[in-house]
């Protein structure tokens, strides 16, 4: 199932932070394409490198959450951010939403880091931060309709079903990844899980109100 769009009738503000985040992710990806592998390695979060030099590598905690491993990685993440981010931004307010996004990205990175502290594999991607947005959306709009592409049909699905299914898949995959080095098939599922539950945890203090 692939989400296509949601119900935005209750949204009251223009989501310029969400649009700005999408733009920043695209710009960073274009820089990756232009600058090549050395740029990617330099600005990705590498656990072993961070252990050795946490102050010098601290900037990668932020730069890595705006980078992507390929076009499909980028497009998939921006689709989810575009669908779910605008409504969460509307409920939190622009500044709080931006801060919330960064916090969820950091929580996702440190969750993955906890299980792969001495890994030399670069970590990059907005998935963890966006997972936090999904957690917030689930808490704020559990009954909101998300229109999903299911085979050749588009059908509305309550957010609690669509996002509940998503996090169950992440939990199953994350449990499987623990048999390895915290990753499975190059996907940091533990980061997704950490970001999602950070999103749920921080939604109440960051949001203006919750609608059920």
85-102 pLDDT, tens per residue?
999 999 999 999 999 999
Confidence (pLDDT) at 10: 83
> What domain count does the chain have?
1
Q: Note the pTM of the prediction, 2 decimals.
A: 0.91
- C-alpha 39/C-alpha 174 separation (Å) is 28
Q: How confident is the model at residue 181 (pLDDT cuts 50, 70, 90)?
A: very low
pLDDT of residue 180: 61
Is the per-residue pLDDT at 186 higher than 90?
no
The whole-angstrom separation of Cα 166 and Cα 98 is: 23
Residue for token digits 């705006």? 66
Give the residue numbers spanning the domain of 145: 2-206
Provide the pLDDT for residue 22: 98
The answer as to whether 211 is a domain residue is no
Contact between residue 182 and residue 115 where contact means Cβ atoms under 8 Å apart: yes
pLDDT above 60 (res 190): yes
163, pLDDT greater than 90: yes
The pair of three-digit structure tokens given for residue 170, joined into one six-digit string: 């992440």
- Stretch 157-184: mean pLDDT, rounded? 80
Q: What is the share, in percent, of the chain residues with pLDDT greater than 70?
A: 93
Burial 51-84 (b: 16+ CB within 10 A, else e): eeeeeebeebbeebbbbbbeeebbebbbbbbbbb
CA torsion sign for 185, 188, 193, 199 is negative
Residue 151: DSSP 8-state: T
Please tell me what DSSP assigns to residue 66. G
Give the model's confidence band at 182: pLDDT under 50 very low, under 70 low, under 90 confident, else very high: very low
Assigned domain for 212 exists = no
DSSP state of 146: E
The 8-class DSSP code of residue 123 comes to: B
Residue 37 resides in a domain: yes
Contact between 147 and 169 (Cβ < 8 Å) = no
CATH code at position 173: 1.20.1540.10
Q: Is residue 202 part of a domain?
A: yes
5-14, 21-30, 58-67: least confident range: 5-14
Catalytic residues: 127, 192
212 has pLDDT over 70:
no
The band of 187, judged by pLDDT with boundaries at 50, 70 and 90, is confident
The Cα–Cα gap between 167 and 111 comes to 15
Q: Which residue has the higher pLDDT, 45 or 188?
A: 45
């Amino acid at each position: 199932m692939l989400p296509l769009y949601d119900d935005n009738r209750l949204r009251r503000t223009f989501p310029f932070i969400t649009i700005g985040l999408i733009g920043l992710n695209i710009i960073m990806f274009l820089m990756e394409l232009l600058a090549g592998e050395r740029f990617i390695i330099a600005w990705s979060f590498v656990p072993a490198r961070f252990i050795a030099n946490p102050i010098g590598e601290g900037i990668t905690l932020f730069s890595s959450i705006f980078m992507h491993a390929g076009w499909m990685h980028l497009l998939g993440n921006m689709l989810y951010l575009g669908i779910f981010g605008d409504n969460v931004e509307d409920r939190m307010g622009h500044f709080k939403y931006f801060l919330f996004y960064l916090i969820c990205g950091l929580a996702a990175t440190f969750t993955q880091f906890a299980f792969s502290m001495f890994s030399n594999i670069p970590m990059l991607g907005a998935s963890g931060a966006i997972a936090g947005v999904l957690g917030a959306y689930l808490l704020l709009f559990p009954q909101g309709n998300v229109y999903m592409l299911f085979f050749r049909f588009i059908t509305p699905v309550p957010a609690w079903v669509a996002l509940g299914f998503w996090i169950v898949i992440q939990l199953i995959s994350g449990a499987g990844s623990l048999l390895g080095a915290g990753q499975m098939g190059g996907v940091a599922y533990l980061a997704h899980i950490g970001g999602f539950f950070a999103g749920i945890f921080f939604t109440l203090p960051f949001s203006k109100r919750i609608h059920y």
